[in-house]
Amino acid sequence: MTSVTPQPVRSVDEIRAAFPALARTHHGIPVAFFDGPGGTQVPRPVAEAMVDYLYHHNANTHWEYPTSRETDAMLLAARESCGDFLGVPADEIVFGPNMTTLSFHVARGLSRAWGPGDEVVVTELDHHANVAPWHTLVQERGITLRTVAMRPSDGTLDWGAFASAVGARTKLIAVGAASNALGTINDMSRARSLATAVDALLFVDAVHFAPHAIVERDTLGADLLVCSPYKFYGPHLGILTGRRALLEEIDVPRLEPAPPYAPDRLETGTQSHESIVGAQAGIDWLASLVPACREGRREALCQVQKELHRRGEILLDQLWTGLDAIPGIHLYGPPPGHPRTPTAGFVLDGVTAESVSDQLAEKGVFVSHGDFYAATVIERLGVGPSGLVRAGCACYTTAEEVTRLLDGVSAISQRRSSTQALGPKADSHSHPANTLGDPTGDQSSLQQPR
Ligand SMILES: Cc1ncc(COP(=O)(O)O)c(C=O)c1O
């Protein structure tokens, strides 16, 4: 095998020029988007491809007139693009509205062959979209659910507990490749070994992993893998992949006249064609960030993802070190240098996550807060109902933006100190129902999604 020399990846300034959203200002200040873990901004080619589809090719599939044929060809091309992104053949790509819907769909299909005595293993570290579809089966099929603990000290999985949870009755292990709340990257080879030892399926949630790493389904050891292009510069959409033979077998509910073969048989009803076309445009745009790569799209994507991961590590280091130096900050998850994404979860003593987010927004720094639907992580960390502040770096994040975020948090920390000296009423930025981190405060912040 010949080794390929990596080519230069476009600079962050060149990348930023592709994102119209980055021109946005708030109170006259340029917006710094740290909300990528909840959904990234999209580059211009994505929106243009979607508009072009809707204006010029919009049709339903499998008919013999030009726009329908064009739609068929565009969906096939999109499967090829997504296949290159996930390191799988095009005919193993299934589209759906989002990861959550696809996971419920697969869980329902697989579980038609399961019953009392069968077991599924889930983890505390996972987004609930990789827990609830399996939990539902406890009531629907009488299966047993085993939950692997997260270690609050460093936001990693308790692998000893994981090994104990897996046994001869385990049908499936559901685990995230990376935590959307803390950024922890899990050791999937360990999860694969546990699954292999008992002949169980491994269902991998790669939603938070895919934007930050090279995804190769079979190297990750996943039998089934799900992700969402809206987390990696595409439109709102979900993707499922699995070996074709497995996709043919899953007994999903489907309409009899619909195609009986994979991957189509798992796609319920008419898909969002424009989103599928947009997802392809997002992946092709990512591949185009290494213009000199001549070895094809998959190789280009690997080079880009590797370089973006490296840049993310530098930003995370700056973010983590800077936050750690601010009085009253508590950081959660693995520190820099451990397998993780550039997503930091933290709290500031005496100020709710919602209030931190609100005050940062006033400075044009957009961060998310709450439980991000990884509600068990928040419970286990014991940070109270306001949850965490989450700052995630994306391909368009700059060191200067990280500095602005740090300055903003530092200013809130200082105000908090003077506020505390004056008494709680002086904190004019806090929501009245959840000032100063009151653990019985406003539960509404827990409604904040993803
Ligand atoms: C790790 C993780 N898994 C699953 C999901 C759910 O994805 P979707 O919104 O596509 O259903 C999210 C969404 O934030 C996520 O971050």
- Ordered by start, the domain boundaries in the chain are 50-284, 306-447
d(CA 223, CA 242): 6
127 close to ligand 1 (CB < 6 Angstrom): yes
Strand partners of residue 239: 95, 227
How would you classify the pairing of strands 388-392 and 368-370?
Answer: antiparallel
Average pLDDT, the chain: 93
336: CA distance to ligand 1 center in Å? 23
Q: Give the containing element (helix H, strand E) for 308.
A: helix 297-324
| Spatial distance between the Cα atoms of 98 and 51, rounded to a whole number of angstroms | 20
Q: In the 3-class helix/strand/coil scheme, how is 230-287 assigned residue by residue?
A: HHCCCCCCEEEEECHHHHHHCCCCCCCCCCCCCCHHHCCCCCCHHHHHHHHHHHHHHH
Tell which atom from ligand 1 comes closest to the C-alpha of 450: 14
Beta-ladder partners of 227? 239
pLDDT score for 418: 82
Q: 74-100 as b/e, with b when 16 or more CB fall inside 10 Å?
A: bbeebbbbbbbbbbbeebbbbbbbbbb
**Tell me: domain 50-284, CATH 3.40.640.10, correct?**
yes
Alpha carbon dihedral 178, 181, 184, 190, in 10-degree steps, equals -50
Q: Tell me the sheet residues that pair with 145.
A: 120
Let me know if 31 is exposed, middle or buried by CB neighbors in 10 A (0-12, 13-18, 19+): buried
179 secondary structure, DSSP code:
-
Nearest CA to ligand 1 atom 7: 99
Q: Which amino acid is at 44?
A: R
For 80-102, the pLDDT digits (tens) are: 999 999 999 999 999 999 999 99
Check if 343 has its Cβ closer than 6 Å to any atom of ligand 1. no
> Among 282, 285, 281, 266, which Cα is nearest to 226's?
266
CA distance 394 to 342: 8
Class of the CATH domain delimited by 306-447:
alpha beta
Q: What is the pTM of this model?
A: 0.93
Distance, CA of 315 to CA of 399 (rounded, Å)? 6
For the chain, give the percent of residues with pLDDT over 70.
Answer: 93
Q: How far is CA 296 from the centre of its chain?
A: 26
> What is the β-pairing status of strands 170-176 and 25-26?
unpaired
Kindly state if the Cβ of 128 falls inside 6 Å of ligand 1. Answer: no
| Pocket flag, ligand 1, residue 238 (CB < 6 Å) | yes
Rounded to 5 degrees, what angle do the CA atoms 407, 413, 415 make?
105
364 neighbors 32 (Cβ within 8 angstroms): yes
Amino acid at 280: Q
| pLDDT tens column, 58-67 | 999 999 999 9
User: Cα(228) to centroid of ligand 1, in Å?
Assistant: 7
pLDDT tens, position by position, 176-203: 999 999 999 999 999 999 999 999 999 9
- pLDDT in single tens digits along all 450 residues of the chain: 458 999 999 999 999 999 999 999 999 999 999 999 999 999 999 999 999 999 999 999 999 999 999 999 999 999 999 999 999 999 999 999 999 999 999 999 999 999 999 999 999 999 999 999 999 999 999 999 999 999 999 999 999 999 999 999 999 999 999 999 999 999 999 999 999 999 999 999 999 999 999 999 999 999 999 999 999 999 999 999 999 999 999 999 999 999 999 999 999 999 999 999 999 999 999 999 999 999 999 999 999 999 999 999 999 999 999 999 999 999 999 999 999 999 999 999 999 999 999 999 999 999 999 999 999 999 999 999 999 999 999 999 999 999 999 999 999 999 988 877 665 444 433 333 333 333 333 333 344 555
Spatial separation of the C-alpha atoms in residues 435 and 415, rounded to whole Å: 14
Quick one: how far is CA 52 from the chain centroid? Answer: 27
Residue 120 has which token pair? 């599924």
Beta carbons within 10 angstroms of residue 2's beta carbon:
5
Report how far ligand 1's centroid is from the alpha carbon of 385 (Å).
Answer: 20
